[in-house]
Structure 1
Amino acid sequence: MKYLFYTATLICTIAFKSYGQEAAPASQTYNFSVLDCVNYAYEHQNTVVNAALDIKSAEYKVKETTGIGLPQINGTASFQDYLKIPTTLLPGEFFGAPGTFVPVKFGVKYQSNLGVSLNQILFNGSYLVGLQASKTYRELSQRNYTRSKITANVAVTKAYYQVLVSNEQIKLYDANIAQLKQQVDQTVAQNKQGFVEKIDVDRISVQYNNLITNRENVVRSLALNYELLKFQMGMPIDNNLVLTDKLNDINLDNNVAEMTTDTGFYHNRIEYALQETTKKLNELDLKNKKSTYLPSLNANGSYSASYQDNNFSKLYSQVFPSSYIGLTLNVPIFSGGQRLNQVRQAKIEVQKSSNDLANLKNTINLDAKVAAVSYINGLQSLNNQKRNQVLALEVLRVAKIKYQTGVGSSIEVTQAQTALESADNNYIQSLYDAMVSKVDLDKAYGRIK
């Protein structure tokens, strides 16, 4: 019994482990450039995927609207079993009994009808406008798809740059930690020999420990930055992502002057195109309201077969067919002023969309100028922080020499080290700001598609 229990337990354990391995496949590794990450987001990012589905839905909407103008054919079938045949009272004069009413039953117990009807629009102004509107709606969905791609592109690119900058920050910390470790070792050795005081060792040790802690914080932040990048891409968090681009591959040339020469760049902005589509839809709505003044003409026809008998078995033995074809003309005459006021409201919406379009143009121009200034300032700040790094490194070198030769103090070295760390941090921040402002500049001038 114990052997059977042990065997059953072992089989269940193996099966459970096998199922777990199948249910949780091994994570994949991707070596991606920033362009690869953007293209991956186009295919997997939820917002972009849903926007692509909206395009398909719009295609079906166009077909649905087109189908309204095609022949509409319907079939009908009915069966009645009159448990009590309807009774009608006829004047008694017909039966030689004036002044009275004689009950008479008309009809048979069983009745059945089979029919088919057809309706075809020959002219309807609203239908014609609806066809145009459905195609414009499809255009709107396509432009919304483009906007979602641009949004994903910007988010992924910024997240990618954040990872690159964090890696660069870790490299700077490693360089500072390496050179400070040598200084710590030298100071400890000098303290043992009695050349420096214990407070000098403590002071530089505090600085070294702070560097180690700051580096560990950046490493943890780097892991989160990777997770954020994968999230923006729509990539499963468990997958491994290796970035192939380097900071040196990113072009930060000051080419603002080339962009500002194009005064019609606002047409490249997807926001402007979307507002144009909105205006077009409002104009079609106005056209639709006006079309309600026009008559509509439909062709229709019907064929039906009627079956009647008091005996159910003979119900379908004899048929009484009927059919017709005809035209239906509907001419609107008076609606209490409803159509007139609907047209007036639609005209106001068109005017509002025109105002919004003009205001959006000004907003885009202002946005572009702000982005250009931010980019130029970012580049200047970056160049300045690079120079500050070089100066801070030189100040530290001189402070070390002075301290080693006995003409300087350890406080001077510590201050120089702190200044270098501050210069490195400022450089990292200005580097990220410049890269982000480059992305914002490209977006502002409609260069991201």
Structure 2
Amino acid sequence: MNLLTCMRPILLGLLLYPTLLLAQQNRNTGAQPLTLQDCISFALTNEPNVKQAAIDEAIGDREIAANLSGWLPQISAQFAATHNIQRPVFVINDNVNRVGQNYTSNILLQAEQTLFSNNLLLASRAARYTRLQLDQNTIDNKIETVVQVSKAFYDILLTQEQQRILDENIARQEKQYNDARSRFEVGLVDKTDYQRASISLSNSRSDRKRTQESIKAKTALLKQLMGYAVEADLTITSDYEQMELEALLDTTQQLNVATRIEFQQLQTQKQFLKLNTSFYKWNFIPNVSAFINYNPQFFSNNLGDLYNQKIPTSAVGLQAAIPIFQGTQRLQNLKIARLQEERLEVDEENIRKIINTEYQTALANYKSEFTDWLTLRDNAAVAEEVYNIIKLQYDEGVKAYVDLVVAETDLKSAQLNYYNALFRVLASKLDYQRAIGNININQ
């Protein structure tokens, strides 16, 4: 047995050890909860639209290279072989004479270098704007990804918080149900108290089940938006105090439409149209190129002797293709290009108005949602205080059970409304940041 055979198991073990160790660590620790920044960073790499935009950029680079390859020398080869079944004739007086050979062949080798071409000049000037357009498309997809992932993340967290509230409410109601039933059994109250408690408890359990199922659906949506594996577990975490701080926003910022990616994309499109107009304006300039060729020719009356003798020819020179008259096609295309520029000016003015409307709407919605959130936060604190007082009064026999049920219902509604309002204000903040062009994609 040679040394390589003996060492093979050891080498295999060394190669597999890091993988086995990592797998063991994953089994021991489990999936780590992801913060919002973790989710956004993952999505900016793995979200399908973002990945497709990156591929589009790579495709665009190849297309630019293909379009600009016309500036490089173009080398071609051409082969031909002919059997002249009836050779050409010429007549002198009454004599008919055939010319040429029965078999001919030639090989044409030619190199051509473009010196000036309006088409290639357009491709050269458009290359930077093509790359810019592709980059802006990627940015647009990333902005949408950040907004949608953030909203889905907040939605799950706040739904989980709603579930926590329902769990606490169910725990209280189970105790109240047991207390009410015990009081009925000893004859202190009639059975309507524990029947009401039973109804409230059943409704709360139904609400909790609906919330649990809702979290599953919302988690699936977040996975989709992130480009996360469907079969992988996804847990998220966040500090609710931090979320409340994130709800705050400086609303004194002035709108600058130039920061919106949609406006930037329109400006890039305007550059393309200007180049197109310039192309048709100067399309009468000739295309100029230099060439050199080598053309060996072969002639014989016998096929077997065709390539025994070579008669070469070669040439070098300049050539120019001049469009003299194209039936007004160039002029019509030039007018079309100018009209397209005019149309884009209308689009630009319209998008300014659209962006301003989005900004004003987002600002108004944020201010409204923020006010509602502050109000509902105060209401939740008051509802909790009222419930605690009425609970004490009920335990002492001062208040009826129906008062406790009402207070508890008000507390649950106030708490759920508060977290719904927090989600709405966070979502409206994202809409405002997008409207003002202030979404951070550099995670």
TM-score (norm 2): 0.88
Alpha-carbon distance in 1 for matches of 2:235, 2:54: 28
Match of 2:347 in 1: 356
Q: In structure 2, what is the Cα distance between the partners aligned to 1:30 and 1:315?
A: 79
Q: In the superposition, relative to structure 1, how do residues 61 and 135 fare at CA in structure 2: closer, same or farther (>3 Å)?
A: farther
Instruction: Report the counterpart of residue 169 of structure 2 in structure 1.
Output: 176
Aligned pair count? Answer: 412
Structure 1: runs of 5 or more not aligned = 1-25, 96-101
Measure the CA separation in 2 of the matches of 1:439 and 1:36.
18
1:389 match: 380
Q: CA deviation at 1:142?
A: 0.8
SS at match of 1:201: helix
1:277 is matched with 268
Asked if 1:59 is matched to 2:52, the reply is: no
1:86-142, Cα deviation, whole Å (9 max, x unpaired): 353x446153xxxxxx4x443323322111112222222232122111321121011
Residue correspondence of structure 1 range 225-240 to structure 2 within 5 A? 225-240=218-233
The gaps in structure 2 that reach 5 residues or longer are 1-25
Q: Is the 8 A contact 2:247 2:425 kept in 1?
A: no
- The answer to whether the 8 A contact 1:31-1:243 is kept is yes
**Amino acid of the structure 1 residue aligned with 2:216:** A
Partner of 2:370: 379
Partner of 1:49: 51
- For residues 71-220 of structure 1, what are the structure 2 equivalents within 5 Å? 71-82=73-84, 84-86=85-87, 88=89, 90-91=90-91, 93-95=93-95, 102=96, 104-220=97-213
SS at the partner of 2:115? Answer: strand
Q: Does residue 257 in structure 1 map to residue 258 in structure 2?
A: no
Deviation for aligned residue 1:42: 1.6
Across the aligned residues of Structure 1 and Structure 2, the Cα RMSD in angstroms comes to 2.0
> 295-304 or 430-439: which moved more?
295-304
For 2:234, what is the secondary structure of its paired residue?
Answer: strand
> Partner residue of 1:245?
238
Q: What's the secondary structure of 2:314's corresponding residue?
A: strand
Match for residue 400 of structure 1 among 391, 411, 415: 391
Letter in 1 for 2:54: A
Question: Partner amino acid for 1:233?
Answer: M
Match of 1:291 among 246, 257, 282: 282
Deviation at 1:253, TM superposition (A): 5.0
Separation in 2, partners of 1:30, 1:321? 77
- Distance across 2 between alignment mates of 1:294 and 1:312: 48
Match of 2:402 in 1: 411
Aligned-residue sequence identity (percent) comes to 26
- Residue 38 in structure 1 maps to residue 40 in structure 2: yes
- Aligned in 2, Cα 1:277/1:30: closer, same or farther, shift over 3 Å? farther
Provide the C-alpha distance between the structure 1 equivalents of 2:340 and 2:223, rounded to a whole number of angstroms.
42
String of CA shifts for 1:237-268, please: whole Å, max 9, x gaps. Answer: 111122132222223353333423xx43x222
Q: Is the Cα–Cα contact under 8 Å of residues 72 and 119 in structure 1 kept in the other structure? A: yes
Confirm or deny that 1:436 pairs with 2:427: yes
Contact 1:85 1:108 in 2 (8 A): no
CA–CA distance in structure 2, aligned partners of residues 108 and 257 of structure 1: 91
Identify the residue that residue 339 of structure 1 maps to in structure 2.
330
The answer on whether the counterparts of 1:85 and 1:106 sit within 8 Å (CA) in structure 2 is no
Give the partner amino acid of 1:381: D
8 A Cα contact 2:247 2:429, kept in partner? no
